[in-house]
Structure 1
Amino acid sequence: MTKSIGFIDSGVGGLTVMKEAIKQLPNESMIYLGDSKRCPYGVKTTEEVRQYTWEMVQFLLEKQVKMIVIACNTATAAALEYIKEKVDIPVIGVIQPGSIAAANQTKNKQIAILATKGTIESGLYQKLIIEKDQDIIVEGKACLDFASIVENGEMGSQKAEKIVHEALVPLAKQKFDTVVLGCTHYPLLRESIQEVFGDEVCLIDAGAETVQHLMVLLHYFNLAETFETNPHPKREYYTTGNPQIFQEITHKWLSDDIIVQKVDLTTYQQGEHNMTKELLIATKNKGKAKEFEAIFAPFGYQVKTLLDYPEISDVEETGTTFEENARLKAETIANELHTLVLADDSGLMVDALEGRPGVYSARFAGEPKSDAANNAKLLVELGGLEGKDRSAHFHTTLVLAAPGVDPLVAEGDVFGQIATFPSGTDGFGYDPLFYFSEAKQTFAEMGLEEKNKVSHRTNAIKDLLTKWEDWFQENKEILVTL
């Protein structure tokens, strides 16, 4: 059976991407879903946008699409990495292609980004462009009413001309030679935008650039269709809003006789995403809390810690294994607060010390706990050992607990060796001494973002996520009541 490419957007804006895809990929079947009922996305919170995007993705998955294009810049910024982690088909967004094209186009290294408030505040365009060329100056402009103009079919009206002119004239007086249309609605206002900036300024259509990446991925994954394999491609259009208004705009833009069907996404609002939007991490360690927050944010979790619950007493770690300590904390707090709780017990295990300090890592040098004292004792105990004789690994055991269910247990490790002296200031605990050979730095030198890509906690979380769905389904009747 021939499978379709799925396109999702906050409304009609993503049709600019699909139009280009139809032009360049005439033999591909395509399904489009626009969430016009909840448009615009740019003024919504990141959590809301991520939830809405996940609901649309679930709709497309039921249609058995072979690839998903998040044809919305705001949704790309908020949800792309989260969605990619959750599905087993290719998913692409519109920000990276637009960023690359802009960085390649600019001659005077001055670029303006026109986008929604949410996309601008994410900083993703700025980050990707500067990563490509640090000399480029990037300025973002949130165009608050542009998407609404398009959704209401008011392109070309005097009202539209006035709003575009008032928003962009101050920006046009600057020296930008390249302007990114960082919302897929904006190409429908291209003439008005170009008139303000002048013909000498290049407008980058991030959506159109995305289709080039789409073509590459189709061939890379051997998913591309030809006239022989799909001579009569199908096009399906869905909206959560008014199908008549959506159909009128779609007909004008695509010049195609289409039928738009209305879809209700409320059936996708229950389940694992909502269950895990808020997660309590059983720790008061600020360094550890910051790591967990950075790790869980891309997956859509709002992380709380025991710092948010000062009335909760500390749970004494009396276990002799990582799992015993993590289970003790998770189950005790879950029962007390009647909520879902994730607890961890982590430690450093040094081969030459037969796995010590292990579960006693935080108090290796005794009480009161001191990172400096622990590091000093470790260096003394390793004495004159060198190279591979200083091998060690960080270990994490995670326990996810809720009242009345057997907890979920996951584990992760990262391997390295103990340096001969501490280096770096960004970590905590043994990070200044833990040398990660692949990065040729200690964990404290790597910085949080790079460290979180390889850390024992990240690896344990990956293990947790592979087990989560089965665990949730097994205990669903209890979990949904929390």
Structure 2
Amino acid sequence: MNKQPIGFIDSGVGGLTVFKEALKQLPHENMIFLGDQARLPYGPRPAAQVVDFTWQMVNFLLKKDIKLLVIACNTATAAALDIVKSQLPIPVVGVILPGSRAALKVTKNKHLGVIATEGTVRSDAYARTIHQKDAAVKVTSLAAPKFVPVVESNEYRSPIAKRIVMETLAPLKHAGLDTLILGCTHYPLLRPLIQNVMGDDITLIDPGSETVSEVSTLLDYFDIANDDVTEPKMREFYTTGSPEMFEQIAQDWLQLDQLNAQRAEIEDLPVTYQQTPVSTVVVATKNAGKAREFAAMFAKDGITVKSLLDFPELESVAETGTTFEENARLKADGYARQLELPVLADDSGLQVDALGGQPGVFSARYAGDGHNDAANNAKLLSELSEVPAEARTANFHTTLVFAKPNHPEQDLVVDGDVLGRIVGIPRGDNGFGYDPFFEVEGTDQTLAEMTADEKNAVSHRGNAMRQLEQLWRDWYSNHAL
């Protein structure tokens, strides 16, 4: 369950057509809408300026702790989707790809029409997207710049609107297309007029429905859907223009009780992604000593480190992987998704060359589930009983995975090793597990004979942590996710 809201942005009120579809398909989700009415229309503006405006809207909604962003504006999708999607740590959905897919499903003669803003037509985004999927489809695009002002002025049912629609669509009347994409989220508000002009034999495609279907799929994929059916749901509306004008159109279109719009000031917000600094990292362990090791590394950045002991009700993540990295990823990604916090997880083990790398990922349960260190060591020595001392080479390995929620494909992964050999008699009292039997290469000491500082200087986990120390800040600040 994830109660964080879904954010919707648009150049004005047009994105409410997508929001309306979301109310139908995703009734249990909390939602926030922001329309930049003070600076519309976006269509005639340069693409770089649209990108700047989009970032300001995005940064406004990020402060509202949204879990998924819908760019419910075709012009902004064409100009900014790829840029925003590559930098945000949350899923981002635009309206062009879903609309294109929907049109390709229904066309019979493979001649599609697109009506959109000047910016969207100029970008050729729909034609490129459609031709990537079917190069044989003909696409006829037409800019309809007068449609947006008609909708924003609440005149979309007036005789003026009827005349504007008729005059604008005249070039498409006999173009031979059988499907028309409403390539601006304002245009569905004019749908009855558009259908009347184009005729009933032309299928109109509203990308909003397909867009919300994609949102639904992503909520399930990332396991962030809100399945609480009991609490009242958040419906917040913001506009950079007149709240009164926004409310008139929104109430008419959405038919919501007690719809209140608030004015948003976004002109001074940054025009690049502004990441919220990390303040808490969870180490996926119940070993307090291990958590303290990592806490010391993060302390210099003022970051609080918690462990799984701080979340007793958390559902455990099973380590079902066949490699150290698989297990570390399972834990890091699984707990990050549940906690909505950055999570650092590790998987470590002993690999003995003469045993083909065993016990490996099964190091903690080498003698079977429920057995202790003594039983694991006894089995290890038994397996090596016929192996001469010089052939008992081994290494301890650690894989660390640092994950933010919902982007497992871009986890930060580092490894660490320490080479040595297995001795027949345990030495030292400072270690645990296999430490008393692991003599570090180049020394005459086992890990259990070393002080904590000496062990950290050579150990597999110490080596991995030093790699992590060099990489994690850039990874986090550059938004590798």
Alignment of 1:92-171 (within 5 A): 92-171=93-172
- Determine if contact 2:55/2:271 at 8 Å carries over to the other structure: no
Higher relative contact order (CA 8 A, sep 6+): 2
- Determine if contact 2:59/2:270 at 8 Å carries over to the other structure: no
Structure 1 segments of 4 or more deviating over 2 A? Answer: 269-273, 463-471
Displacement after TM superposition at 1:269 (Å): 3.7
Go from structure 1 to structure 2 and tell me whether the alpha carbon gap of 1:271 and 1:220 turns closer, same or farther (over 3 Å shift).
closer
Aligned partners of 2:74 and 2:93: how far apart in 1?
11
- Determine if contact 2:75/2:120 at 8 Å carries over to the other structure: yes
Aligned partners of 2:261 and 2:31: how far apart in 1?
13
Aligned partners of 2:101 and 2:235: how far apart in 1?
29
Aligned residue for 1:91? 92
Query: Residue type of the partner of 2:129?
Result: L
Aligned partners of 1:62 and 1:212: how far apart in 2?
25
Aligned partners of 2:135 and 2:31: how far apart in 1?
38
Aligned residue for 1:234? 234
Aligned partners of 1:120 and 1:465: how far apart in 2?
41
Aligned residue for 1:75? 76
- Percent of aligned positions that are identical: 48
Query: Residue type of the partner of 1:238?
Result: Y
Displacement after TM superposition at 1:226 (Å): 2.1
Greater Rg over alpha carbons, structure: 2
Displacement after TM superposition at 1:468 (Å): 9.5
Aligned partners of 1:464 and 1:108: how far apart in 2?
54
Aligned residue for 1:211? 212
Aligned partners of 1:184 and 1:464: how far apart in 2?
42
Displacement after TM superposition at 1:469 (Å): 8.5
Aligned partners of 1:55 and 1:73: how far apart in 2?
17
Go from structure 1 to structure 2 and tell me whether the alpha carbon gap of 1:464 and 1:181 turns closer, same or farther (over 3 Å shift).
farther
Aligned residue for 1:224? 225
Displacement after TM superposition at 1:270 (Å): 6.5
Query: Residue type of the partner of 1:50?
Result: V
Query: Residue type of the partner of 2:242?
Result: N
Aligned partners of 1:169 and 1:73: how far apart in 2?
22
Aligned partners of 1:187 and 1:464: how far apart in 2?
48
* Partner deviation per Cα, 1:448-478 (whole Å, 9 max, x = no partner): xxxxxxxxxxxxxxx999849959xxxxxxx
Alignment of 1:202-351 (within 5 A): 202-228=203-229, 231-256=231-256, 257-269=258-270
Q: Which structure 2 residue ranges, 5 or more long, are not aligned?
A: 275-469
Aligned residue for 2:50? 49
Aligned partners of 2:240 and 2:108: how far apart in 1?
42
Displacement after TM superposition at 1:267 (Å): 3.0
Displacement after TM superposition at 1:271 (Å): 6.6
Give the paired residue count: 282
Go from structure 1 to structure 2 and tell me whether the alpha carbon gap of 1:464 and 1:196 turns closer, same or farther (over 3 Å shift).
farther
Aligned residue for 1:188? 189
Displacement after TM superposition at 1:253 (Å): 0.3
Q: Which structure 1 residue ranges, 5 or more long, are not aligned?
A: 274-462, 472-482
Aligned partners of 2:184 and 2:228: how far apart in 1?
32
Aligned residue for 2:442? none
Say whether 1:58 aligns with 2:88. no
Aligned partners of 2:110 and 2:179: how far apart in 1?
8
Go from structure 1 to structure 2 and tell me whether the alpha carbon gap of 1:199 and 1:46 turns closer, same or farther (over 3 Å shift).
same
Aligned partners of 1:157 and 1:174: how far apart in 2?
27
Query: Residue type of the partner of 2:233?
Result: P
Aligned residue for 2:7? 6
SS in 1 for 2:168: helix
Query: Residue type of the partner of 1:170?
Result: P
Say what the alpha-carbon RMSD is for the aligned residues: 2.2
Query: Residue type of the partner of 2:248?
Result: E
Aligned partners of 2:45 and 2:174: how far apart in 1?
30
SS in 2 for 1:33: strand
Aligned residue for 1:40? 41
Aligned residue for 1:332? none
SS in 2 for 1:32: strand
Go from structure 1 to structure 2 and tell me whether the alpha carbon gap of 1:267 and 1:4 turns closer, same or farther (over 3 Å shift).
same
Query: Residue type of the partner of 2:59?
Result: Q
Go from structure 1 to structure 2 and tell me whether the alpha carbon gap of 1:222 and 1:191 turns closer, same or farther (over 3 Å shift).
same
SS in 1 for 2:268: helix
- Determine if contact 2:97/2:129 at 8 Å carries over to the other structure: yes
Alignment of 1:305-454 (within 5 A): none
Go from structure 1 to structure 2 and tell me whether the alpha carbon gap of 1:77 and 1:466 turns closer, same or farther (over 3 Å shift).
farther
Aligned residue for 1:17? 18
